Amino acid sequence: MLKVPDHQVAGHQGGHGQPGPLIDDSGRFYKPLQDDDRGAIEAAFYTSFSSNTRVPDHIRRFFPVFHGTQLLDASDGSSQRPHLVLEDVVSGRSHPSVMDVKIGSRTWYPEASEDYIQRCFEKDRKSSSLRLGFRISGLQLYGSEESGLWKPERKLVHNLSTDEVRVVLKKFVSSNSPTDPNLNPDCSLASSVYGGSSGILAQLLELKSWFEDQTIYHLNSCSVLMVYGKKKVLKGGSSDAEVKLIDFAHVTEGNGIIDHNFLGGLCSLIKFISEILTSPDECTTKVYLQNSDNKNEEILASSNECTTKVCL
Amino acid sequence: MLKVPDHQVAGHQGGHGQPGPLIDDSGRFYKPLQDDDRGAIEAAFYTSFSSNTRVPDHIRRFFPVFHGTQLLDASDGSSQRPHLVLEDVVSGRSHPSVMDVKIGSRTWYPEASEDYIQRCFEKDRKSSSLRLGFRISGLQLYGSEESGLWKPERKLVHNLSTDEVRVVLKKFVSSNSPTDPNLNPDCSLASSVYGGSSGILAQLLELKSWFEDQTIYHLNSCSVLMVYGKKKVLKGGSSDAEVKLIDFAHVTEGNGIIDHNFLGGLCSLIKFISEILTSPDECTTKVYLQNSDNKNEEILASSNECTTKVCL
């Protein structure tokens, strides 16, 4: 039985005349192939990557397992269409917290159409991509039994300031309520989720080493997905935090050159996460996120005064 | 006695109504302050950097020593104007080979004017900057007693292909003639100039570690200068190869974010140089550089057939 996943935080969702992804009970994720080049490019990437002997084994685990393509009824009932059959990287976790971070200060690439380049160029400048080398594309945070999941609207997370990004990365590993305006993120889960020999930071550093060397693929506009089962960690269990790379609709050949755009952005994300681990109590400034019409205000961070100055 | 340096390979040279830099016999380099913001920004950077206690001592050696500013007669005799007084990083070497590599796939930055952004954007796309994360801005190679210095025209080096960049980086550490079309660069000096515990690669890796961490400065449009006294190395002497960062007219504040644009480009340059050290005999394809009018052909590389395939 296929169903629409409730844990998707970014990417093409169903609705608005577009079929979206599906999942089953056995841990598979079915992603409809996009009609234009993007579908073909993503399928070609998964096919190439699966059989590429130059990819080291310890790097494969950062990519969803690929089970080929399959004709399926689209999620919107429109017609049969080919789907990528992938590992569902979120399944099997109780109350998962998920964050999708699009890597790279530039989401376009020389081979793209002029129109696409211009659209990406503007989006990169308006979002945090150009400044930080990455942007948060979507997230869901598990709060508590009472508050359940917190999943801010996409348009709220797309244009975060540097301070807001820092706060969201702290909220991701905090046990207190992500939506209470009187609480600073406590970062109490940082050491078990971001830290440790198998935590998210260690995984990102392993990926970084590979990107310093690999010249096979340029992962334009690709995301790092960070996911962990929060309920288990809250109860004192060990963390199952995982990093996965997703979204390969704009991959190009490396042609003997490293993906310096991805690598630079990845190093920037690593720096942000390292700082949370070494100085979780650093200044959290008052951060509000507003919709562009200024009416629908959503509070992303609490308003405690900054007491420790960030020493750069 | 001040004189015009003969070893400048890139940057603003004298002539065309512009004053250029001067040097003296005591190893100082006098750079006229540019009239617009650029002069003020570069002077402010040197002043800030010189007194910044957050810059580790082992990193300072990668920057020219700054001796303040001084009013001097301009090199074109036009008028007195302020000059930055800097360490002449090329002086004291016999027959120096010099290469200026502008780092970053993007030479513009969000704070720049729209006009500047557009001009840089086009130049980055046309040159190797966007593809490789860096571009060779200028070079001079010492050939031999007979051939003397080889200093290709700037417009020839600005728009190199990936293969051509690889060849130029090989020529930089080769003992055979850089201009003879029948010779492949032999890379015979690679291990002493690029390699070793104090060679250029080791120095670039030390800089890389700092850029993974430092969030003080964004070195937009800055160059890595690589220099060594070729005659000494040819005679079997130890290498005096040095890496220096130069050109700070577009530095901006880091504001707590690493310079991911510089870091990505630096990692790409490191990868190219590492490959020359590990596989100096890899395929050298026929590479000619042509002026845009196709008349004035200059041969940058020899035409031996490729015998070993590059295994990526």
Facing A105 at nearest CB: one of B212, B260, B268 = B260
Tell me if chain B has a CB within 8 Å of the CB of A284: no
CA distance B270 to chain A (A): 9
Residue B287 has pLDDT above 50, yes or no: no
A310 touches chain B (CB under 8 A): yes
Cβ distance A105 to B255 less than 8 Å, yes or no, reads no
Q: What's the start-to-end Cα distance of chain A, in Å?
A: 53
Residue among A130, A264, A271 whose CB faces B110 most closely: A130
- Chain B: give the shortest CA distance to residue A145, in Å: 36
B-chain residue closest to A127, CA distance? B110
C-alpha span between B271 and A99 (Å, rounded): 31
Q: Is B212 on the interface with A (CB under 8 A)?
A: yes
Residue A74: per-residue pLDDT: 86
pLDDT of A268 reads 98
Q: Does any CB of chain A come closer than 8 Å to the CB of residue B53?
A: no
Q: Which residue has the higher pLDDT, B215 or B78?
A: B215
Cβ contacts from A onto B, under 8 A: 85
Q: How far is A160 from chain B (nearest CA, A)?
A: 14
- pLDDT over 60 at B285, yes or no: no
pLDDT score, position A287: 40
Q: What is the pLDDT at residue A291?
A: 35
Please answer whether residues B258 and B214 qualify as being in contact, where contact means their C-beta atoms are separated by less than 8 angstroms: yes
Q: Closest approach of chain B CAs to the CA of A30, in angstroms?
A: 32
Asked whether residue B205 carries a pLDDT value surpassing 70, the answer given is: yes
A127 — contact with chain B (CB < 8 Å)? no
Chain B contacts of A105, Cβ < 8 Å?
106, 260-261
Q: Tokens in use for B92?
A: 């004291």
Expressed in percent and rounded to 5, the helix, strand and coil fractions of chain B are 30, 20, 50
Residue B286: per-residue pLDDT: 40
Query: pLDDT at residue B296 above 70?
Result: no
Average the pLDDT over B111-124 and give the result.
95
- Say if B74 is an interface residue toward chain A (CB within 8 Å): no
Give strand pairing partners of B85.
B30
Cα torsion B283, B270, A204, A195: sign: positive
Please judge whether B260 and A254 are an interchain contact, meaning their C-beta atoms are less than 8 angstroms apart: no
Nearest by CB to B268, from A110, A258, A267: name it.
A258
Q: State the alpha helices, DSSP H only, in chain A.
A: 37-51, 57-60, 114-126, 129-132, 154-158, 162-171, 190-193, 200-211, 230-234, 260-278
Question: A264 CA to chain B: closest CA distance, Å?
Answer: 4
Q: Is A130 on the interface with B (CB under 8 A)?
A: yes
What interface predicted TM-score (ipTM) does this complex get?
0.89
Calculate how close chain B gets to A196, using CA atoms only, in Å. 20
Helix then strand count (H, E) for chain A reads: 10, 13
Q: What is the pLDDT tens value at each position of chain A, 312 positions in all?
A: 889 988 777 766 666 667 899 999 999 999 999 888 899 999 999 999 999 999 999 999 999 999 999 999 988 877 899 999 999 999 888 889 999 999 999 999 999 999 999 999 999 999 999 999 999 999 999 887 787 888 888 888 888 999 999 999 999 999 988 887 778 899 999 999 999 999 999 999 999 999 999 999 999 999 999 999 998 898 888 899 999 999 999 999 999 999 999 999 999 999 999 999 998 776 444 444 433 343 334 444 433 333 322 222
Residue A286's pLDDT is: 40
Contacts of A258 in chain B (CB under 8 A): 133, 267-268, 271
Q: Does residue A131 sit at the B interface (CB-CB below 8 Å)? A: yes
Predicted confidence at residue A94, as pLDDT, reads 81
Q: Alpha helices of B53-171 — where are they, by DSSP H?
A: 57-60, 114-126, 129-132, 154-158, 162-171
Cβ contacts (< 8 Å) between B133 and chain A: which residues?
257-258, 260-261
Residue A205's Cα: distance from chain center in Å? 16
Taking CA atoms, what residue in A is nearest to B217? Answer: A312
- Please indicate whether, in this complex, the C-beta atoms of B271 and A212 are within 8 angstroms of each other: yes
Burial class (CB in 10 A: 0-12, 13-18, 19+), B195: buried
Chain A positions touching B132 (Cβ under 8 A) are 257, 260
Pick from B62, B5, B9: nearest CA to B30: B5
Distances (CA, A) of A37 to A40, A60, A249, A297, B77: 5, 25, 8, 38, 60
Search chain A and give the residue with CA nearest B252.
Answer: A131
Nearest CA in chain B to A258: B268
Say yes or no for a CB contact (<8 Å) between A268 and B256: no
| Alpha-carbon gap: B154 to the closest alpha carbon of chain A (Å) | 24
- What are the structure tokens assigned to B160, written together? 């190199």
pLDDT beyond 90 at B13: no
In angstroms, the separation between the Cα of residue A302 and the nearest Cα of chain B is: 21
Q: Tell me which residue in A216, A257, A264 faces B162 most closely, judged by beta carbons.
A: A257
Residue B173 C-alpha, separation from nearest chain A C-alpha, in angstroms: 21
The number of beta carbons lying within 10 Å of the beta carbon of residue A180 is 12
- B126 — contact with chain A (CB < 8 Å)? no
- Report the distance separating Cα B238 and Cα B199, nearest Å: 10
B271 and chain A: CB distance < 8 Å anywhere? yes
Buried/exposed code over A235-262 (b: 16+ C-beta within 10 A; e: otherwise): eeeebbbbbbbbbbbbbbeeebbbbbbb
CB–CB contact B260 A267 (8 Å): yes
Contacts of residue B145, Cβ cutoff 8 Å, sequence gap at least 6: none
pLDDT beyond 50 at B307: no
- What does the alpha-carbon distance between residue A216 and residue A48 come to, in Å, rounded to a whole number? 10
Provide the edge-to-edge strand list for the sheet that holds B80-87: B22-23, B28-32, B80-87, B66-73
d(CA A227, CA B260): 24
Q: Is A105 on the interface with B (CB under 8 A)?
A: yes
Chain A: closest CA distance from residue B217 (Å): 11
Nearest CA in chain A to B270: A212
- Whether residue A76 contacts residue B76, with contact meaning beta carbons closer than 8 Å, is answered with no
Judged by a CB distance cut-off of 8 A, whether residue A129 touches chain B is: no
Q: Give the best residue of B54, B260, B276 to mutate against chain A (max A CB count within 10 A).
A: B260
